[in-house]
Structures are given as C-alpha cells and as structure tokens.
Structure 1
C-alpha cells in the first residue's frame, strides 16, 4: 500500500494518485517478474466503497535472496549469468525515446553527481567526511569533463534504456526455475532511464559491497556478452562509483533519522566510491627510453594491467609508410623512415590516436623513445585536452646490455624495431633528461610486479 505522502518529486496524497502508482509498479515490474506481480487489489471500507489499493504479489522465500546466498558463501555464477541475460533482454526491448536519451547524456549524469554530493554535504555523515567528498567530486568531474564523445556515441548506439533503476541483491530471489528480479524504481522515470551499463552497475556495486567482487566483475562481463556492449572499463567503474554514492546518501539519511549504525555503512560506501573512481581514471602512460631498454615489454604489461590500448611508434612509423611492421627499414641515422619529417609524423599520429581513445574512456600506453622534452610536453598537452592523467615512465639499462640486445634482436629479425648500434650511439648523445619520469631499470631483465605497477600507474580495472 502506498503512503499518502508528498515528497516533492512524488505526490501520493490522493487515492487516485496512489492507485495510479500501484498500477505503474505492477506494469513495470512485470517486465522481469510477471508471475510475482499479480495485480492491483482494491480495498473496500465498511460502507462497501473502494477506499485504498494494494499491489498484490506472490510471496518469495527470504532465504533465497541473492544477498543471503552471498552471505552464506554459496556459488552464484549461474544466478549472475541468468540475471545478466535477463537485464540484457530488458534493455534490448527498451523503447528508444529522446526523453530516455537525455538521461544518458554527460550533462544529466553530471547533474546527478552534483545533486547527490550537494545533499550528502549537508548531512552529518557528509560533514564528517568533507575531505573525502571533495576528492570524490573532483575525480567524478574530471572523468566526465573529457568524455563527451563517449557518452554521445553510446546514445547514438542505442545504449540509453528504460531499465530497472534500483537493482539490489536483496531484491533478487534465486528460485529453482531461475531468478526473479523485483522492486524496480517506479516513482521517477528519469531515475530509471539512462545508460544500460549504469543500470546493471547498481547490482555490480551491491555485489562488490557484499564482498563478492569477482561476481560483480562476472556480472559486467556476461552482461557485455549478452548485450553486445563494449563498455570501457573506466566507464563501468565510474557507474559503479555513482551507484555507491546513491547508496551512501540513502544510508546517510537513515543516520540523520536516528539509525546510528548507518553512519559506518555510509562511510564504507564512500570508500567504495573513491576506490572505483580511482580504478576508473583515464590514463595516458608514456613509456620511453633508449632502444632495447624493454619499453615494448613494459608497455604490454601496462596495457594488460590497465586494460589499455598500446600504441607503438615503431609499428605506426611503418604503417604511415605503407610497410609491414616486420620489414627491416633500418637506415643511417636521420635518413630513410627516420628523418625528422617522418619522426614528427609518427609522434603526431601517436597523439592523434591517443586523443580519440582517451576521449572514449580508454586508457592509452604510448611506446616510443620520448627522448626530447618537447615531445613529452606535446603528450602532456594532449592528455590535458581530454582530461586524462598523464604518467611518465622511463626504461633504462646498462649501455653494454642494450648493445647486446640490439645485436641479438637484429640477428633474430623478429621485431618491428629498426634500431642499430649506430642508432643507440646517437640516442645516447641526444637523450634529454627526464626528471618527471618514474624509472624502471631493466638491466637484469626483471619486470615490475602488480604491486609496483599499482604504485606507478594506479590500480587496474579489476
């Protein structure tokens, strides 16, 4: 039964309004659980006249809530897969409408962040966590500022949907014949509209909150498979962060209303917001150094760590010339493909491709020598244009080791690099100091482990 309340965004003071909201709840929830939502029942008073209305539902077993399964440590892979499939189907059947599209724009999401943060800042929990909220606001705003093309492309691709809007593990019942997903958000269409990945991210957030982080990852991966949505990992984490913020605000309100235990829950959710925003940072990583210092190996490692695109100057240089990367195009210093003109064109193309990927939410690793400060400055400007974090790494090794590696590599003939001993000698003289770079010494062939990579470029997506 609906309470006769006026909440500003929802006015249920009249019986007609409450009846309409009951029907709305049934109609929307029947999309996912038609056998649970049985209809709207009329309540008759002593005079035989209709005086109220009820949503009539089939009772579901509390011990089969997904949250209960997680708490008991049960394996939930099949449930997660089924939920991902159902939600992908719901999204596929969603109508396409400008009103829905508007709720998936970068401006709309920016407003949602601002409204929730503004509200939280006025509550006791938010006042206590002022520094955390300030950092969250900065991180969320920074991501959104550079991602206009990503949000526009997702809307054009039909990713804006009428979804569930409030998907929590406590509202998913794992029955023998499959899960029932109930209690979608019916009182405000605009809070149910939006990007499909934002919709499914609510449950990913809740699973992560409950300690089932692997299941959260699985949910997003399987949803991507069923929906055909290649959502960048940075956006997934941004959406999970926003959903955690919403729950933090709700629990902070409970604390303000006298529930003392909600304070720590809300603070924990704010920690979850911050962690996901950190994982969702868009990063431009410059990996430089002399030839044979292991730049390409380190770049590939970073690409895997960050789920990033790796662009290699040796390959792009030959692509621009119409050559297969495996072809030996070595030449004297400053000649052939290695004139200033060819080198400028190579770096320009590296940064052009990087800007595009970064604006679409994909982190980028650029594998090149970056020997000159002027080229590094160009890369920093490119990162600033799309509001990406620029991280600089210089690989180094003993020159004698570099010489042996170059000779060995040329004998094998299995690499895109055309570096020769003469090129190495020239680089040693041309290299400009790089004080802003973190240094990786590869002399002994040891590569950085995950912990060190975290320290250098931050945590990867999962």
Structure 2
C-alpha cells in the first residue's frame, strides 16, 4: 500500500466522521469505563491460551499497562466526550481516534508501522483532533490485542497460522502500550543553558508540553521557590490526567519538591523519570554568584536524588538527547509518535477537561470542520508536520 493511498484513506475517514451522527451518551462506547470493559472481556478470553499460544508474561504486562493507563485517564475520556469526539459507526458509538486506530492496526499487521503512524497523524490533521499520542497508542494496542483474542479462538478451531498471528499481534500491543506510557519527566541540575536546551529538545522529540520554572526555580527564598514548584506541579498534574507526558525544566534541588512530584506521578498513574544534568563547567556558565550560591547551597543540603540518573550536558547535544530519550522510553524510541495537529491542542483539551466548551481562543463553542481536500502541511513532503 502506498503512502498516497494511506493518506487518501485518512482523509476519507475524517470526512466520514465529520458527517457522522454524534452522540454524547458515554455508555455507548466512548467512555473510559466502556473501553475498560472491552479490555477485560479480551483478557478473560485470552487467559486459557497463556503459555500455550501467547507468552503469559507479555500478556500480563499488557494487562497491567492498559489498566494503569485507564485508571489515571478519566479526565481525558471525559474531555473527548465533551469535545464531541464520539462518532457513530456500524458497530455503535466510538471515539474517532479509536476508529482510526483500528485501521492503523491493519497496517501494523502488514509490517508497515511507519505507515500506521502516518495514517493516524494524517487522520488527526484532517479531523483537527488534538488527541495525545498516548491515546493513539492505546487504541492501536487495544485493537491489536482484540485481534490476539480472535486469533486465539481460531487456534481452538484448528487454524494452522492463528498461533503465529497471535504472538505477533501480542508484540504489537505491548510495543504500543510501552510507547504510550504517560510520564512526568524532571530535568534538573545546575541552572545553566545546557539543561534548558536539553529539556526543550526532549519535549520536542516526544511531542510533549514543556514546563519551565521562572529563572530556573533556583530562587534565593525557599518559600518563593515552594510556590513556584507548587504551580509547576499543579500544571503537570493536569497534563498527565489528559494523557500527556510532560517535561519539567527546573533545578529540583530540594528533596521535598522531588518527593511531591513522585507522589503526584504515583497518584495519577504516570511514570516518574528523573535526570540531573551537569558538566564540570556548569557552575560557571552564565549565572551570577548569588544565584549560583543559592543553588549550590540547596544541593549541598539535599539528600541524593532517589532514582536519579546523571546526564552529561557538556558534550554534543545529540548525545545528551539520546541519553535522555533512553531514560524516558527505555524500550526504544522508534514508536514515539510526535505528531501534533496544532500548538493549541493541549490547551483545547485542558479547556474541555475543566468543563468549558469554548475553543482555544475563547470564541465560543468549537466547531467541527469538514476536512480540506488539501493535504495537511503541504502534502507528503512536509515531513516536519508529521514528526
């Protein structure tokens, strides 16, 4: 299948969704609890095939990752419903991205992972859909596992190729759930430009929001710093509830700030990734003596960071970025989907999560637009719009 054909299919699906009847009744398929019930039914049907057809450890990890994502993402699904993202298809009412992920899973079965990503990206662009990458990955994983379930039942009927298909699709589901993990990423260390550059590059590569504290949050007054970090962490909490991995650029020198971040991540079912940036000249780069002294005093008085990893920002920037990416996505970055429909997408989701119905500019209810026939971002050559 060619890229042009995949793009045309994405445009057609978005057009169909734009014209489809829309309902907000969550129980019809688009709610978090409805998806949870679909997952659990699949787990129950696959259970007798553990060890015989599918790897029991892999399926167990799929179950843990899927249920963890859903447990912390009720606000995301509620926002999707409020935005009118449920569409009626032949099987009932589903989220539009759920429907797109079903076709993307078919591309995955053809060993066309890159086209699967591009299809979902094109669909999101044509549909003007701000769904976070984690949700797209989650739905692809769900449909892959649903096909695992179907393959297992075919094994029981004597299908000679079904067992091999089930094992391949189990790997697809697990790969996407790992890639869609929601994380809070603390990029800390000596407050110099190299740390902030790394945080910005990491957020860009992940397609994630970047939160930076004013002045690097190395305030002389600890009480002032407490307020800065409280605001930073409150924003991060809202993002992870909406399925966004968030990168936070701050010194993170005081243990209580890191401990609060860990507590929020645990409560919201998000991974916490901590990295301390530094290099031998960091203390002398671009900061006045007062600020540097305040930071070093905080570091000297703090306990070792729990779970920290030091990232050397004194060498080539791409080496530091690769190191940081490896910490956030330890199973590889090949499946990191960075596509974003537009820069206001996260704020639009936040507005609906808070109960609002206006668009990003506050101009009243957001209107669903029929997809343009012009390729998003100038067509197939505008790869930067997909990355």
Q: Counterpart of 1:392 in 2: which secondary structure?
A: strand
In the TM superposition, what is the alpha-carbon distance from 1:449 to its structure 2 partner? 5.9
Q: Output the TM-score relative to the length of structure 2.
A: 0.80
Distance 1:109 1:137 in 2: 13
Deviation at 1:228, TM superposition (A): 1.1
For the 8 Å contact 1:125–1:266, the answer to whether it is kept is: no
Q: Distance in 2 between matches of 1:454 and 1:305?
A: 8
Q: Shift of residue 290 of structure 1?
A: 1.4
The residue number in structure 1 matching 2:126 is: 226
Cα deviation for residue 258 of structure 1 reads 0.8
Aligned to 2:342: none
Higher relative contact order (CA 8 A, sep 6+): 2
Where structure 1 has 5 or more consecutive residues not aligned to the other structure, the ranges are 1-69, 71-75, 164-185, 318-332, 407-418
Distance 1:383 1:124, change over 3 A: closer
Aligned to 1:231, the other structure's residue is in SS state coil
Aligned to 1:153: 79
Number of the residue aligned with 1:402: 282
The more displaced of 305-314 and 139-148 is: 305-314
2:289 aligned with 1:421 = yes
Q: Which residue in 2 is equivalent to 1:107?
A: 33
Specify the SS of the correspondent of 1:259: coil
Q: CA deviation at 1:279?
A: 0.5
**1:87 paired to 2:23:** no
Out of 445, 448, 451, the residue aligned to residue 319 of structure 2 is 448
Q: 2:147 aligns with which of 247, 253, 258?
A: 247
The structure 2 residue matched to 1:357, chosen from 239, 242, 262, is: 239
Matched, 1:370 2:252: yes
Instruction: State the shift of 1:445 in Å.
Output: 4.8
Counterpart for residue 134 of structure 1: 60
Query: Counterparts of 1:144 and 1:368 in 2: how far apart (Å)?
Result: 29
CA 1:247/1:374 → structure 2, altered by over 3 Å: closer, same or farther?
A: same
Q: Quote how far apart the aligned CAs of 1:194 are.
A: 0.9
CA distance in 1 between counterparts of 2:247 and 2:52 reads: 37
CA distance in 2, matches of 1:380, 1:267: 35
- Is the contact between residue 311 and residue 365 of structure 1 (CA under 8 Å) also seen in structure 2? yes
Q: Kindly report which structure 2 residues correspond to 1:27-46, keeping only aligned pairs within 5 A, or say none.
A: none
Higher mean alpha-carbon deviation, 134-143 vs 258-267, is at 258-267
Name the stretch that deviates more: 444-453 or 227-236: 444-453
> How far did residue 260 of structure 1 move?
2.5
TM-score normalised to the size of structure 1? 0.67
Are 2:298 and 1:430 aligned? yes
Write out per-residue CA displacement over residues 110-165 of structure 1, whole angstroms, 9 at most, x where no aligned residue: 010010011011236666522111111000001001111110010111111113xx
Distance (whole Å) between structure 2 residues aligned to residue 450 and residue 239 of structure 1: 28
Structure 1 residue 273: deviation in Å?
0.4
SS of residue paired to 1:230 = coil
2:158 counterpart of 1:258: yes
Asked whether the equivalents of residues 161 and 195 of structure 1 are also in contact (C-alpha less than 8 Å), the reply is: yes
Aligned CA RMSD, in angstroms, stands at 2.1
Q: Give aligned pairs, total.
A: 330
Once residues 306 and 56 of structure 2 are traced to their aligned partners in structure 1, the CA distance between those partners, rounded to angstroms, is: 34
- Deviation of residue 384 (structure 1)? 1.7
Retained in 1: the 8 A contact 2:233–2:261?
yes
Name the counterpart of 2:375.
none
Residues 285-317 of structure 1 deviation map (CA, whole Å, 9 limit, x = unaligned): 001101227221121122123221110112697
Alignment partner, residue 323 of structure 1: none
Q: Does 1:388 align with 2:270?
A: yes
Distance 1:447 1:195 in 2: 37
Larger Rg: 1
Unaligned runs of 5+ in 2: 338-387
